Amino acid sequence: MKTALPPALAVVAVALAVTATATGPASAAPASQEPGTTATATVTTTGSAGLREVLFVGNNWDGTADVLEPSGSLARIGRINVIPDKDQRMLEIHLNPVKLAYFLGIRMSVGEGHDQFVDDMYSTPDGSAVVVSRPSFADVVSIDVASGKLNWRFPVSGYRSDHMAVSPDGTRVAVSASTSNTVHVLDIRTGREAGSFATGDKPHENVFTDGGKRIWNSAIGEVNTALDDPFWDFTKGDRKITVVDAETYRTVKVIDMRQRLDAFGRTDLSDAVRPVAFTPDESKLYFQVSFHNGFLEYDVAADRITREKTLPKNPATSEDRTTWVNDSRHHGISMSPAGDKICVAGTMDDYATVVDRATLREGPLITASKPYWATVSGDGKSCVVSESGSDSVTAIDFATGRKVASVPVGDHPQRVRLGKVAADWTGPSAARE
């Protein structure tokens, strides 16, 4: 639900937003060296036989990441504190009036009254570290999973970090800097910036495609105002997909879904692209948009929207758009490894469901409390959704559409990502002492 800012803070936030728009994206800050850490992460020499696959669950309001079995029971293996430097960050914020204004603005708007300590996360290829974007601290950090200490920290341009994506070879991570309309691409081992590129307003989802040769970024525009009636859609900003060359970071293509939606006959739908899922051959893109209970199919080669799926509404869900979290109705979509099933998190409608890609028929509606993300289990048999309203993670079988497991996690889970840790890992050493 959108929460109005106090008048004084609202004035500051608006003034800052206007200034940021007028001056353009801020220059990227370098990876910083924290006390007691090194600028380059210590690499654990571990062969592939010494690693195990896991699910990382980012508990946004807790500032923790639960580490679960990747399939089956989803049993918890351990937990990582992703804000070990919280006191230092909070001191910096309180000594800087501009940072404090944005910090409080994030808490009272997109954070729903809470600080956002973890948005997205990926492990390094050797399983020695997890790299985390922390919206309220406007940074990306690498955390040693054995000790729980920081390896490196990269402050993003602007005042908030968001969704990330890791390259297929695991060497680079792309992160959206929401308030500067920029995506930074970092060396996942050192935190040094390899490059960056400009986006539309409020960059959100990132995806590497074509074997890592391209990066797709979706800009969702302004989602924190109460101007949610379709009449005010023009106030939401410049929303577009920016496709760049992943080596030069030059724009290859810009996709304005407004034009494609209008041509498809859905002039009523928002063009703010939310989570997306490509088919295994990347010929089709399935994407969610703000305010819509469903998703659309986009033919990449033909450059047009070809199908739409509208999913059931929950009768208990208010039709007042201003009560929907950050302009979401459904937020979270993933595809089975075979490309035949699509899993959807029906966020504001409190369910998740599996849809047959050929027929677009949905399976059972599995009750879920504000599901916020959807991914695929390690064995590829299940869709895994985070239930942010009940602080749990649930697996739904792709074949049957039925729930097969559910486990409790930390406060307000959002992103769920597959990763790796050492085979004998059970948690940071500090947590076991």
Q: pLDDT tier at 7 (50, 70, 90 boundaries)?
A: very low
Query: Within a domain: residue 199?
Result: yes
Q: Give the CA angle between residues 402, 299, 223 to the nearest 5°.
A: 70
| Model confidence at 430: pLDDT above 80 | no
- How many structural domains compose the chain? 1
Higher pLDDT, 109 or 143: 143
pLDDT digits 0-9 by tens, 68-78: 999 999 999 99
The 10s digit of each residue's pLDDT in 171-199 is 999 999 999 999 999 999 999 999 999 99
User: What CATH number is given to the structural domain containing 50?
Assistant: 2.130.10.10
b/e map 58-67, b = 16+ CB within 10 Å:
bbbbbbbbbb
Q: Is residue 67 part of a domain?
A: yes
Taken as a whole, the chain contains a residue count of: 433
Per-residue pLDDT at 395 exceeds 90: yes
**Does any domain span residue 272?**
yes
Residue 11: is its pLDDT beyond 80? Answer: no
> CA 169, CA 31: separation in Å to the nearest integer?
21
Confidence class of residue 325 from pLDDT cuts 50, 70 and 90?
confident
Q: What is the mean pLDDT of the chain?
A: 89
Mean pLDDT confidence for 390-418: 98
Coil, strand, or helix at residue 316? coil
Q: Percent of the chain at pLDDT above 90? A: 82
Tell me the pLDDT tens digit for each residue of 113-123: 999 999 999 99
Asked, for residue 254, whether it belongs to a domain, the answer is yes
Q: Is the pLDDT of residue 45 over 70?
A: no
Q: Is the pLDDT of residue 8 over 60?
A: no
Percent of the chain with pLDDT over 70: 88
Q: Where are the beta strands (DSSP E) in 127-202?
A: 129-134, 139-144, 150-155, 161-166, 172-177, 182-187, 193-198
Does residue 1 sit within a domain?
no
**Looking at the domain assignment, is residue 2 inside a domain?**
no
Residue, of 430 and 272, whose pLDDT is higher: 272
C-beta separation of 275 from 290 below 8 A: no
Task: Give the integer Cα–Cα distance in Å for 177 and 206.
Answer: 11
Question: Is residue 46 scored above 50 in pLDDT?
Answer: no
Which residues share a beta bridge with 251? 244
Contact present, 99 and 7 (Cβ < 8 Å): no
Domain that holds residue 409: 7-432
Instruction: Report the range of poorest mean pLDDT among 176-190, 208-222, 229-243, 276-290.
Output: 229-243
Lowest-confidence region among 30-44, 339-353, 380-394: 30-44
pLDDT of 350 above 90: yes
Residue 316 belongs to some domain of the structure? yes
R_g (Cα) of the chain, nearest Å: 20
Grade residue 377 by pLDDT with cuts at 50, 70 and 90.
Answer: very high
Does the pLDDT value for residue 205 go beyond 90? yes
Report the pLDDT averaged over residues 351-368: 98
Q: Is residue 105 over pLDDT 60?
A: yes
Q: Report the distance separating Cα 208 and Cα 203, nearest Å.
A: 15
Q: What per-residue confidence (pLDDT) applies to 49?
A: 59
Rounded to 5 degrees, what are φ and ψ at 280? -55, -35
In a domain, 325, yes or no: yes
CB 75 within 8 A of CB 407: yes
CA distance 242 to 215: 8
pLDDT value of residue 110: 86
